[in-house]
Amino acid sequence: MIQLDHVTYTYPQAKHPALSDISLEITESSLVAIVGPSGAGKSSLCALLAGFIPHHFHGILQGRALVHGQDIANTPLAELVTHVGYVFQNPFTQLSGAKLTTREEIAFGLENLGVPRLEMAERVDRVIELFSLRDIANRSPYEISGGEMQRVALASIFVMKPRVLVLDEPTAQLDPLGARQVFEAIRTLTNTQSVTVIIVEDKTEWIATFADRVITLHEGRVVLDGSPDAVLTSPLLAEIGIRVSHYTQAARAASRHRLWPSELALPTTLDKAIDGFKRARKKYENLG
């Protein structure tokens, strides 16, 4: 579905590449999280996969990048956007400015594609329910909260049914409940509609719970690539400035004092941490 072969990209007038010699293969229907410190190249990777690099940002692109069998550098952006949905960090920049209500805003892309009115209404209603937007469906998209605007931006992309979905920190303005709703909706897409999702996110527990794979970037390079449990407990994360979960930190501290079960990997979620500490308590109660 996605293949990057020795991709290097440098922005105009930049001294150093934003992406350096990246080679990746991402399979269909997978949910892949991208993590890394500020300036690691996460947003640049998103822009590349969505075609904004090199068609909007005219820097120097080396190597080969394929999405859904199409060479990004040689495929017009107008064609790429029919396969790849891209949600920006700031939802305000994603609004069209041409619609009076949230419902109309969500339908805007479908109108441009000439989707029949009945099908359009059904698809819009479906994503309105999916993202709990019923209460604001008839309000102006400019008169809602930042979190609501983020969900509208997501819904306006989801409704297009892209084959690849690129999300750049989509839960940044959402509370924990809203973040869970977004991740559950994304997981539903990958499970039922063969959508491939690439998500930049710093909420490690949500990544550990929902992602199939985690890729870590640092200074434009891939430094870790593997399962959430393997990547999110790696000591390298702290070395490059990425905060690991409190559960991992607590278990690592316990492990140094031989208070964490040696047969268990370090936890990345609350449930795994509770299970591990319960086992540790039971073990030492039996020893006593």
Where residue 198 sits, what CATH number does that domain have?
3.40.50.300
Read off the pLDDT of each residue in 104-121 and give the average, rounded to a whole number: 91
Residue 138 belongs to some domain of the structure: yes
User: How far is 57 from 10, CA to CA, in rounded Å?
Assistant: 10
Helix (H, G, I), strand (E, B) or coil at 144: coil
Residue that is last in its domain, among 161, 196, 214: 161
**What percent of the chain shows pLDDT beyond 90?**
56
Same domain, 185 and 68: yes
State mean pLDDT over 247-274.
91
Kindly state whether residues 139 and 184 are assigned to the same domain: no
Question: With 60 as the cut, is the pLDDT of residue 36 above it?
Answer: yes
Q: Is the pLDDT of residue 287 over 70?
A: no
**If you average pLDDT over residues 226-238, what whole number do you get?**
94
pLDDT at 247 over 60: yes
97 and 173 co-located in one domain: no
Residues 151, 192 within the same domain: no
H helix intervals, 88-203: 102-113, 117-130, 146-158, 176-192
Q: Judge whether 180 and 206 are in contact, CB under 8 Å.
A: yes
* Phi, psi dihedral angles at 3 (to 5 degrees): -140, 120
User: Which whole number is the average pLDDT over 52-63?
Assistant: 94
Q: Are residues 1 and 103 in the same domain?
A: no
Residue with tokens 């892209």: 162
Residue 240 within a domain: no
Domain that holds residue 128: 92-161
The sheet with strand 60-67 has its strands ordered as 19-26, 2-10, 60-67, 70-71
- Whether residues 148 and 39 share a domain: the answer is no
Is residue 86 within 8 Å of 166, Cβ to Cβ?
yes
pLDDT higher than 90, residue 17: yes
The DSSP bridge partners found for residue 22 are 7
Q: Is residue 145 part of a domain?
A: yes
* Number of domains the chain contains: 3
Residue 62, beta-bridge partner list? 8
Write phi, then psi, for 234 (nearest 5 degrees): -70, 135
User: Is residue 238 one of the residues assigned to a domain?
Assistant: no
Cut 0.75: pTM above it: yes
Q: Determine what percent of the chain is predicted with pLDDT higher than 70.
A: 99
Residues 50 and 179 in one domain: yes
Q: Where among 137, 161, 185 does a domain terminate?
A: 161
Rg, C-alpha atoms of the chain: 21
Cα 123 → chain centroid = 22
What pLDDT is recorded for position 89? 76
Helix (H) or strand (E) holding 6: strand 2-10
The answer as to whether 5 is a domain residue is: yes
Q: Look at residue 239 and tell me if it is in a domain.
A: no
| Averaged pLDDT score across all residues of the chain | 90
- pLDDT for the residue numbered 237: 93
Check whether residue 186 and residue 222 sit in a common domain: yes
The answer on pLDDT for 262 being more than 90 is no
Q: Are residues 78 and 185 in the same domain?
A: yes
Q: Are residues 60 and 188 in the same domain?
A: yes
Are residues 63 and 199 both part of a single domain?
yes
With tokens 């550990």, the residue in question is: 208
Asked if residue 288 has pLDDT above 70, the reply is no
Q: Which of 140, 161, 182 is the last residue of a domain?
A: 161
CA distance 211 to 55: 29
Dihedral sign (CA 235, 236, 240, 245): negative
